[in-house]
Amino acid sequence: MAGKDEEESFLSLEDEEPKSKKPKKAKKPKPKQQSKPKAQTKQPEIIDAEIVDNTVIEQAGGKYEVEWPLIGMDCPDCASKAMRGLSHLKQVVEPEISATAGEIKLTVDLDQGLLSQVSTVMKSLGHPPNVPLNLLSSTNAEVVAKRNSILKKDVKKLFMRQPGILDVEISKDDEILLQLVPAPRKELRELRNRSLSQVIGFEPKFVEASTSRLRPDQWRLFGGTIAIPILLIIFLGDLLGWSPIILGLIGAYGVMIGGLQMFHEAVASLLSKQMGFQVLTSIAVIGASILGMWEEALMVVILVAIAGHLETSALENARELMQ
Is 293 a domain residue?
yes
CB atoms within 10 A of CB 302: 21
Average pLDDT over residues 16-33: 46
Average pLDDT over residues 76-101: 87
The reply to whether 304 and 229 lie within a common domain is: yes
**Four-point Cα dihedral 140, 144, 146, 149, nearest 10:** -150
The reply to whether 186 and 282 lie within a common domain is: no
In this predicted model, what pLDDT tens digit does every residue of 198-217 receive, in sequence order?
A: 999 999 999 888 766 777 77
Confidence of residue 256 (pLDDT cuts 50, 70, 90): very high
The reply to whether 196 and 297 lie within a common domain is: no
Confidence (pLDDT) at 25: 46
Confidence (pLDDT) at 21: 44
Q: Which domain holds residue 104?
A: 63-132+159-165+180-203
Cα dist from 171 to 123, 147, 174, 211, 304, whole Å? 19, 19, 5, 9, 31
Greatest CA separation for the chain: 106
The reply to whether 225 and 315 lie within a common domain is: yes
What's the rounded Cα separation, in Å, for the pair 195 and 203? 10
The reply to whether 240 and 111 lie within a common domain is: no
Which is more confidently placed, 76 or 298? 298
Average pLDDT over residues 158-169: 93
In this predicted model, what pLDDT tens digit does every residue of 296-323 receive, in sequence order?
A: 999 999 998 888 888 777 777 776 776 6
The reply to whether 77 and 196 lie within a common domain is: yes
Q: Ranked by mean pLDDT, which of 18-27, 48-57, 120-129, 311-320 comes out on top?
A: 120-129
In this predicted model, what pLDDT tens digit does every residue of 4-15 receive, in sequence order?
A: 444 444 444 344
The reply to whether 238 and 294 lie within a common domain is: yes
What's the rounded Cα separation, in Å, for the pair 222 and 228? 10
What's the rounded Cα separation, in Å, for the pair 53 and 44? 19
pLDDT above 60: residue 165: yes
Which is more confidently placed, 220 or 250? 250
The reply to whether 75 and 198 lie within a common domain is: yes
Average pLDDT for the chain: 80
The reply to whether 225 and 105 lie within a common domain is: no
**Number of structural domains the chain divides into:** 2
Confidence (pLDDT) at 5: 46
Is 85 a domain residue?
yes
The reply to whether 127 and 84 lie within a common domain is: yes
For the chain, where are the alpha helices, taking DSSP H only? 2-26, 30-34, 42-47, 76-86, 115-124, 141-147, 155-160, 186-200, 216-240, 244-258, 260-271, 277-290, 294-322
Is 32 a domain residue?
no
pLDDT above 60: residue 50: no
Is 23 a domain residue?
no
Is 56 a domain residue?
no
Which is more confidently placed, 9 or 238? 238
Confidence of residue 261 (pLDDT cuts 50, 70, 90): confident
The reply to whether 195 and 222 lie within a common domain is: no
The reply to whether 67 and 199 lie within a common domain is: yes
What's the rounded Cα separation, in Å, for the pair 223 and 260? 7
Cα dist from 37 to 46, 94, 144, 228, whole Å? 16, 53, 20, 51
Is 94 a domain residue?
yes
In this predicted model, what pLDDT tens digit does every residue of 109-163 receive, in sequence order?
A: 999 999 999 999 898 887 889 898 999 988 999 999 999 999 999 999 999 999 9
Is 52 a domain residue?
no
Q: What is the CATH number of the domain that holds 86?
A: 3.30.70.100
Confidence (pLDDT) at 119: 93
Confidence (pLDDT) at 59: 61
* CA 289 and chain centroid, separation: 32
Is 237 a domain residue?
yes
Confidence (pLDDT) at 73: 83
